[in-house]
Structure 1
Amino acid sequence: MAGSNFVDYVKIFCRSGKGGAGSSHMRREKYIPKGGPDGGDGGRGGHVIVRGNAQMWTLLHLKFQKHIFAGHGESGGRQTSTGKDGDDVIIEVPLGTVAKDAETGEVLFEITKDGETGFLAKGGRGGQGNVHFKSATNQTPRYSQPGEDYEESWRILELKVLADVGLVGFPSAGKSTLLSVVSAAKPEIAEYPFTTLVPNLGIVGYRDNQSFVMADIPGIIEGAHEGKGLGLRFLRHIERNSMLLFMVPADSDDHRKEYGILLNELEKYNPELLDKERFLVISKSDMLDEQLMEEIGHELEGIPHLFISSVTGLGIMELKDQIWKTLNGY
């Protein structure tokens, strides 16, 4: 998920296929000069379909593919032969993709499982051939149905990263370092704010070959819900996390206040985020002695918390245990 390759929002124009027209053919053979109707049905127009793919992590492949057209259905033929259906277009997307109507903002569907599908545009039905209109009073109908027209519209595909645990904190709180220590993910790490510009996912190994997925979200700053810093662009990625892990560095001036600011930003963005399980860790705790840890512990009285250091490994296993208990409802 390199920075330049992570795309989590695309707007595309979709057009399905027209249904093929039914045939008005009359049966004509050497010894049957005036046979009855034998016109076949038209083929269905192609659909534009979205399908979940668990091996994908980005919408990059759609970044420069703004127009997607499905195939038209073919007309029916003689001898009641049905026209060929139009070719469907299947768009593979990562799990966690939400499809919306670009004009109204209405959510059409969400893709959360591998192989799950949804329609962005449905193809028109094929028209019926004249054989369907034969009756006792009309033995030779010379008319048939036209095919249904296509659908076309602008659609938005928006990715919300699927992860068990979302890391929430100010820039340079140590989120990327923690992810790099507990998983095989290799996020960019540096001593300046906003090093992380895209979400990073890592699979964290646990006891007995079990695991869970952790997501490192770009840092939040006060006023993010108003668009400051990286704004709301990445806050949506924590909407699907089962648990939120708040990180406040040990060298913060006021740990409780910083935690409160983070909670406030999430609440103003989406109050439902506060209903999720959450836990606070004090990162970079290798710079603290026991007395300072005790003082910070008093400062955070009433807030479940843990001191960790990604450099020395302090508290890392205890943190994994805490996350596992929370995710599994222990």
Structure 2
Amino acid sequence: MFVDKAIINLKAGKGGNGAVAFRREIYVPAGGPSGGDGGKGGSIIVEVDEGMRTLMDFRYKKHYHAENGEDGKNKNMYGKDAEDLVLKVPPGTLIRDEKTGAVIADLVKGGDKKIIARGGKGGKGNIHFKSSTRQAPNFAIAGEYGDELTVVLELKMIADVGLIGFPNVGKSTILSVVTSANPKVADYHFTTLTPNLGVVKTKYGDSFVLADIPGLIEGAHQGVGLGHEFLRHVERTKLLIHVIDVAALERRNPIEDFNKINEELKLYSPKLADKPQIVAANKTDLPEVDENLKALKINLEKLGIKVFAISAATNKGLEDLFTYVSKKLKEVEEDIKNNEIEEEEKIYQYEKEDKYRFTVHKEDDIFIIEGKFVERLLHSTNFDSMDSLSYFQKVLRKRGVIDELKELGIKDGDTVKIDEFEFEYYD
């Protein structure tokens, strides 16, 4: 089954907790702290596998979790870093943040990879909290949480040339004739429900990848008739062959067909409408096409668009068409190279959430503090230790949490809640 879109949830590994430990060797009666740091949580990496052609692997499995880092140990021993989780995707996979729609990665060719969710850093062991006034700290810091986000995977097929046009104009027949691809061909609408690829080889030894894009209809830019799914695959092509039924078997006007399809391209993305086009006037083997063909050529050649009269059924004109396409493709590729604006050269940055982000609000008479960093701090605190409590309060003040509580009108004796823990506030 061809799957070109998937939504998955990613959760990178949490960092291991720092250890609370002390030296206990027989000849070191006053041994100091020796708790090691926790290991780093595993990240989630997406990498291109050239052997894949679909996002089928992500159709049923929607949640991917990397492993947590190992906790720190005694004798200043660090916890082991967790292994990264590597997800394989086909060439041409675009990754977006579902929440914002921002592009995180555009993976085009084999070997391309990107860290999508970073694992959390390991927490610090108690050895880091020793000072001249705190000789035996009995607290450590918990590991940081890893990134967690939902992403949309979109596959945009990698093809040099795309065949576009209304349903049933002969695109699949052309692909089957000029390449070794075997698309389903029949005389009814939407025979092609997924894009098909084939390699064209001209008599001069040139070759390029040709994609049969499923038939577009009016409203495709709004998603009508699976329009978004189809149009997505046109975006990476360098050149378009616009196939038109010049015999007007569907009782449509060939010139109107051309204008309607181009309007859909423009409404979906102005960049698509600007792609170079060559028109293949198909079904010229049928009677009474001369008038339509003449009118089409007059109208389109005024726009500088080359029109080839062909018949996919009889192979008429196909050799001339694809010899010209090959030549034109080289010119387009040279222009792209000179302008240095290829899509894959862009650098996409995914903005990570501020790890010190928190919120404070009041429900009834309770002040509630929420945020991963305060939860991590809470679970790092030893409430039986004045040193640990002092560190807890110091961090809350430094990060502005106490100021937020005061702005909400907190007073000594009021109840504060973090996670499932409640305690009384005293300044």
TM-score, length-normalised on structure 2?
Answer: 0.71
**TM-fit CA distance, 1:88:** 2.1
User: What are structure 1's unaligned runs of at least 5 residues?
Assistant: none
Larger-Rg structure: 2
- CA–CA distance in 1 between the matches of 2:131 and 2:207? 67
Instruction: Pick closer, same or farther for the CA change 1:291–1:256 going to 2, 3 Å.
Output: closer
**TM-fit CA distance, 1:228:** 3.1
- CA–CA distance in 2 between the matches of 1:164 and 1:74? 48
CA contact (8 A) 2:246 2:289 kept: no
| RMSD (Å), alpha carbons | 2.2
Amino acid at match of 1:36: G
Cross-structure match for 2:270:
271
Instruction: Pick closer, same or farther for the CA change 1:197–1:41 going to 2, 3 Å.
Output: same
**TM-fit CA distance, 1:45:** 0.8
Cross-structure match for 2:357:
none
**TM-fit CA distance, 1:233:** 2.3
Cross-structure match for 2:309:
307
Which digits, 9 at most, give the CA deviation of each residue in 1:141-183, with x for residues without a partner? 4433221013222221111112111111000111111111111
- CA–CA distance in 1 between the matches of 2:145 and 2:232? 36
- CA–CA distance in 2 between the matches of 1:266 and 1:181? 26
CA contact (8 A) 2:247 2:289 kept: no
Amino acid at match of 1:260: N
Higher relative contact order (CA 8 A, sep 6+): 1
Identity of aligned residues (%): 44
CA contact (8 A) 2:92 2:156 kept: yes
For 1:1-330, list aligned pairs within 5 A: 5-135=1-131, 138-207=134-203, 209-252=205-248, 253-287=252-286, 297-298=297-298, 300-302=300-302, 303-329=305-331
Instruction: Pick closer, same or farther for the CA change 1:27–1:261 going to 2, 3 Å.
Output: same
Amino acid at match of 1:123: G
Amino acid at match of 1:20: G
**TM-fit CA distance, 1:244:** 1.2
- CA–CA distance in 2 between the matches of 1:164 and 1:295? 29
Q: Which deviates more, 231-240 or 193-202?
A: 231-240
Q: Which deviates more, 220-229 or 146-155?
A: 220-229
**TM-fit CA distance, 1:18:** 0.6
Which digits, 9 at most, give the CA deviation of each residue in 1:214-248, with x for residues without a partner? 11111011232234333322111111111111000
- CA–CA distance in 2 between the matches of 1:301 and 1:15? 55
User: What are structure 2's unaligned runs of at least 5 residues?
Assistant: 333-427
Give the total of aligned pairs: 326
**TM-fit CA distance, 1:135:** 4.9
Which digits, 9 at most, give the CA deviation of each residue in 1:231-288, with x for residues without a partner? 3221111111111110002312532221111111111111111221111111222336
CA contact (8 A) 1:120 1:155 kept: no
